[in-house]
A and B are shown apart, each in its own frame.
Chain A
């Protein structure tokens, strides 16, 4: 019960604050800008055809209504919240009148699949490699690995993805240029293998950066833990090395890694958006790129809202899994 009050409840309040700030920001940003998206849209539409003045006015009014730009700022704010809570994000502008929520729904599965797979792989790989490298800091492979990952880590996601794309679809054409899969969806070998084949490069470019980041952190943590008393005692007691490593050391380095995963989810998600746009992978990133190019504000806004809510929820779940890993939180 105490755990609920001191740990779970503050975390949930924090979560609600995040959602509130995020949604308020997405509401305010377009309204604070000097440019009216509706006038922009009307301008683009009437550029290609001549319209009667009444028709233009009617069009403008119905757009104002669709975008939720009627009434005072406060009224708009409340109706915005109502629409967010009912997942009604309005129609898309380019593929009118398909609702934005439907477009997002059809591409979010790709993003979640790509993202969860590469987060898990990168986290596990980076953790294992980093811990091993921190435990055996003077071996040649640890140093080679560290030096190469330190160079990869700071390179922006876009550049990594773009270089891989150039190398493996253009110079060595072994992977496909765009797309997410081939053939009819189903539980057949050909479909699943094409899924892996198309997803390999996007996942690889996300995993590279993720592994490098996790490696650097877990190596630093491990070398700190390694010099602590309990490891020295265990070594003096001649416990086997693998036992020290897996039963004692890794458990102690794991906790900061979990906190960090919660905090870095947003960054990884941004990476996924960029990577998808580079590879034309049919997820949110590609949808977003298309929406930017056609100035489809409703889609951009929908993706912004969704990513804020999604990231906040995911990091809440990561934080709430804390007591499962750390007995100190559980029994405090």
Chain B
């Protein structure tokens, strides 16, 4: 908690990012108070431009774009959150194993991980999504994205563990007879957790981008509102040609706001994690 306040004070990018994300979360919470059901059509007059009554206008299906957007943000973040959870779960697990066990295990695991980094994920994702087309759910999409996004994080955790293992305090702990499990939990975990935080944020960026891409190709769960499907249906109903730019501007703008918010937060966290800047900060305080 103290760290977050410190970050808020010292890092301008974290400050701006956090404010943007708070705004996004507010929108997400508002979806629970929506006056309309997300997939209900013809509840408001059609094709209204933005006005005081309809903040972001309405679309050709008689849906209020603003309330649709709140559902879209909620669903997109749900998919991304699931993907991040699964991806980091696998990544942390493999990274820890190959970092701590070392030797043959490490060599085999690192070989596999390095191979997965090189394999392009989008074509594989499209292949899978095309085969289960029409049966894809939001949950399924999240799980799928999670299973494709673990190789980079795993490599980073391994590097992190390897460097922690060589530090002096680890040696001290071993020589003073501390149990291995205790060293991992008490001494190493506090270093891993802030690192994990920054990594989680970059995972969100990947998942949101992929969700938008798949939806635009028509391969996501097309019946739910997500940022990507809103763009897809906006294009489908010719929002541009019929001069209803607000239908498309809302999801496009929302996606930019969400990713920029997440990214600024991660920039702030990474700067904070960098030992050099940390040292100067400590000196300033002390």
Q: Is A155 an interface residue (CB 8 A)?
A: yes
Q: Give complex CA distance A315, B118 in Å.
A: 8
Give the secondary structure class of B's interface. helix
Q: Give complex CA distance A240, B132 in Å.
A: 62
Q: Give complex CA distance A315, B255 in Å.
A: 31
Please name all residues of chain B whose beta carbon is closer than 8 Å to the beta carbon of A297 when the two chains form the complex.
Answer: 130-131
Q: Is B114 an interface residue (CB 8 A)?
A: yes
Please name all residues of chain A whose beta carbon is closer than 8 Å to the beta carbon of B122 when the two chains form the complex.
Answer: 270, 273-274
Judge whether B263 and A273 touch: CB under 8 Å: no
- The segment out of A19-27, A109-117, A322-330 that lies at the interface is A19-27
Q: Convert B209-222 into 0s and 1s, putting 1 for each residue whose CB lies closer than 8 angstroms to a CB of A.
A: 10011001111000
Please name all residues of chain B whose beta carbon is closer than 8 Å to the beta carbon of A274 when the two chains form the complex.
Answer: 122, 213, 216
Known: A158-B213, A295-B133. A151 touches B260 (CB 8 A): yes
Q: Convert A267-293 into 0s and 1s, putting 1 for each residue whose CB lies closer than 8 angstroms to a CB of B.
A: 101100110010000000000110011
Please name all residues of chain B whose beta carbon is closer than 8 Å to the beta carbon of A273 when the two chains form the complex.
Answer: 122-123
Q: Is A50 an interface residue (CB 8 A)?
A: no
Please name all residues of chain B whose beta carbon is closer than 8 Å to the beta carbon of A57 when the two chains form the complex.
Answer: none
Please name all residues of chain B whose beta carbon is closer than 8 Å to the beta carbon of A321 when the two chains form the complex.
Answer: none
The size of the chain A interface, using a CB distance under 8 A, is: 48
Q: Is A263 an interface residue (CB 8 A)?
A: yes
Known: A304-B126, A304-B127. A312 touches B119 (CB 8 A): yes
Closest A residue by C-beta to B110:
A14
Closest chain B CB from A47 CB (angstroms): 15
Q: Is A200 an interface residue (CB 8 A)?
A: no
Closest chain B CB from A143 CB (angstroms): 12
Q: Give complex CA distance A51, B209 in Å.
A: 44
Judge whether B127 and A21 touch: CB under 8 Å: no
Contact size range, B:
35 or more
Q: Give complex CA distance A293, B219 in Å.
A: 9
Closest B residue by C-beta to A154:
B263
Q: Is A239 an interface residue (CB 8 A)?
A: no
Judge whether A266 and B119 touch: CB under 8 Å: yes
Q: Is B37 an interface residue (CB 8 A)?
A: no
Q: Convert A148-183 into 0s and 1s, putting 1 for each residue whose CB lies closer than 8 angstroms to a CB of B.
A: 001101111111001100100010000000000000
Closest chain B CB from A29 CB (angstroms): 6
Q: Is B7 an interface residue (CB 8 A)?
A: no
Please name all residues of chain A whose beta carbon is closer than 8 Å to the beta carbon of B132 when the two chains form the complex.
Answer: 33, 35
Please name all residues of chain B whose beta carbon is closer than 8 Å to the beta carbon of A307 when the two chains form the complex.
Answer: 120, 123
Q: Convert B234-262 into 0s and 1s, putting 1 for each residue whose CB lies closer than 8 angstroms to a CB of A.
A: 00000010000000100010011001101
Please name all residues of chain A whose beta carbon is closer than 8 Å to the beta carbon of B112 when the two chains form the complex.
Answer: 17, 21
Judge whether A29 and B118 touch: CB under 8 Å: no
Please name all residues of chain A whose beta carbon is closer than 8 Å to the beta carbon of B205 when the two chains form the complex.
Answer: 154
Please name all residues of chain A whose beta carbon is closer than 8 Å to the beta carbon of B240 when the two chains form the complex.
Answer: 166, 170
Judge whether B213 and A14 touch: CB under 8 Å: no
21 contacts between A and B (CB under 8 A): A21-B119, A22-B119, A25-B119, A25-B124, A29-B127, A35-B135, A150-B13, A155-B255, A157-B209, A158-B212, A159-B252, A159-B255, A266-B121, A269-B120, A270-B120, A270-B123, A295-B130, A300-B127, A304-B123, A304-B124, A311-B118
